[in-house]
């Protein structure tokens, strides 16, 4: 038996391209609003080829969500590497700052929001839970923080999602100042 060739097939090359295109399209239109044809157009391939790579629309969305979490974990890792101290709170703060910078383009943020809204679709709900598990486990392992601090880190991230998606910074009311007190995101 010969060893597997190190040359990637066209499908192996195209899958990540389609996943990144799907991330952008589903971030714009959501699971229900974006079509496989939209993803294909963004990836510059035919819809039939997208279905050859991913048999169902749910599979395309899951590939986009998995790409989203890969990028999130990379940002968290980069943030942890840049922490001023190895203390758990310093590592979590640095990871949070790196994540805030990452979501400034909103595509990853919006894809997560759309995934939450489509989490009742079993394949999407499972992919969302898997991604959240990876992020939570990474934050715990990399920071060495107690569970309560990791929970606050994740909760704080969800509050940041709400503040950014709802554009709370545009509301001059006292409730908006209460929610956003002490939270700053890169411009």
Alpha helices in the chain (DSSP H): 10-33, 36-43, 47-53, 57-81, 88-102, 107-117, 122-143, 147-165, 174-180
Residue 103, CB-side half-sphere exposure with 13 Å CA sphere: 25
Using one digit for the tens of pLDDT, what is the confidence trace for 89-118?
999 999 999 998 888 878 999 999 999 999
Question: Percentage of the chain with pLDDT > 90?
Answer: 77
Take residue 21 and report the two structure tokens written for it: 């295109």
150 pLDDT higher than 90: yes
Contact 94, 100 (CB under 8 A): no
1 pLDDT higher than 60: no
Cβ neighbours for 57, distance < 8 A, ≥ 6 positions apart: 31, 35, 36
Look up the pTM and report it. Answer: 0.89
Pick the range with the lowest mean pLDDT from 45-54, 65-74, 158-167: 158-167
**Domains of the chain, start order:** 10-180 (1.10.357.10)
**pLDDT value for 103:** 82
pLDDT band at residue 134 under the 50/70/90 scheme:
very high
**pLDDT value for 187:** 56
Instruction: Report the b/e string of 64-96 with b at 16+ CB within 10 A.
Output: bbbbbbebbbebbeebbeebeeeebeebbbbbb
The one-character DSSP state at 134 is: H
6 pLDDT higher than 80: no
**pLDDT value for 4:** 55
- The Cα 70–Cα 24 span in angstroms is 15
- The Cα 85–Cα 79 span in angstroms is 12
Instruction: Say which residue, 87 or 186, is predicted with more confidence.
Output: 87
**pLDDT value for 182:** 82
Using one digit for the tens of pLDDT, what is the confidence trace for 152-177?
999 999 998 888 888 898 899 999 99
Question: Percentage of the chain with pLDDT > 70?
Answer: 94
Pick the range with the lowest mean pLDDT from 1-10, 77-86, 121-130: 1-10
């Amino acid at each position: 038996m010969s060893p597997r060739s190190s040359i990637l097939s066209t499908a192996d090359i195209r899958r990540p391209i389609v996943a990144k295109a799907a991330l952008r399209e589903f971030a714009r239109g959501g699971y229900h609003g974006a079509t496989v044809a939209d993803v294909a157009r963004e990836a510059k391939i035919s819809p039939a080829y997208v279905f050859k790579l991913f048999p169902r629309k749910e599979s395309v969305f899951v590939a986009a969500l998995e790409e989203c979490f890969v990028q999130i974990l990379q940002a968290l890792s980069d943030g942890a590497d840049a922490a001023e101290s190895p203390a758990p709170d310093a590592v979590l703060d640095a990871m949070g700052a790196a994540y805030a910078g990452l979501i400034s383009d909103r595509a990853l943020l919006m894809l997560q929001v759309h995934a939450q809204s489509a989490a009742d679709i079993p394949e999407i709900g499972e992919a969302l839970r898997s991604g959240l598990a990876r992020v939570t486990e990474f934050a715990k392992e990399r920071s060495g923080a107690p569970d309560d601090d990791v929970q606050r880190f994740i909760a704080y991230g969800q509050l940041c999602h709400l503040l950014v998606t709802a554009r709370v910074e545009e509301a001059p009311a006292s409730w908006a100042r209460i929610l956003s007190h002490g939270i700053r995101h890169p411009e």
